[in-house]
Amino acid sequence: MAFEIQILTGAGVPIFQQIVDQTRLAVARGTLREGDQLPSVRAMAERLVVNPNTVARAYAELAREGLLDGQQGKGVFISKPRRQVYTKAERLRRLEPALDALIHQALSLNFSADDLREALDKKITQMNLPTGEKGGH
């Protein structure tokens, strides 16, 4: 399973955040392992059709966390062993903006709480989100 990042624009979550979160998840899952090389800033930017500065910012954030190691002129490498999972509080904190945006939109469109739950369930089924057991793999 290759290391793929999906960027979804248009609703609250900044692009650089999405890169950070998904990279972090890949490490936690073992898709990326210590020593693996990441695409260069420019390559990644091209692949995601995104501004290079945005990728640079994401890499910088990951480096600051100690997850990445950017070696001048050589490339960017994963520097930490896996299990770099966010704490539950941190995961919730990062989910919140999207949650707030949804609630706000539902409110302004006069959806009731039940409408909202139903719409979410439908979408979950449609996108085939993993249910139940935590952690996945």
Q: Which residues between 22 and 81 bind a copy of itself (CB under 8 A)?
A: 22, 24-25, 28-29, 51, 61, 64-66, 69, 71-74
User: How many C-beta atoms surround the C-beta of residue 78 within 10 A?
Assistant: 21
Q: Which of 89, 94, 129, 100 is nearest to 11 (CA)?
A: 100
The residue among 25 and 45 lying less far from a copy of itself, judged by its C-beta, is 25
Asked if 19 and 58 count as a contact pair (C-beta separation under 8 A), the reply is yes
Binding mask 11-50 for DNA (x = CB under 7 A): ---xxxx--------------------x-xxxx------x
Asked if 38 and 78 count as a contact pair (C-beta separation under 8 A), the reply is yes
Only one of the segments 9-17, 81-89, 108-116, 124-132 lies at the binding site for DNA (rule: CB under 7 A); that segment is 9-17
What is the size of the binding site for DNA (CB under 7 A)?
27
CB of 83 to DNA, least distance (A): 23
CA–CA separation, 49 and 5 (whole Å): 11
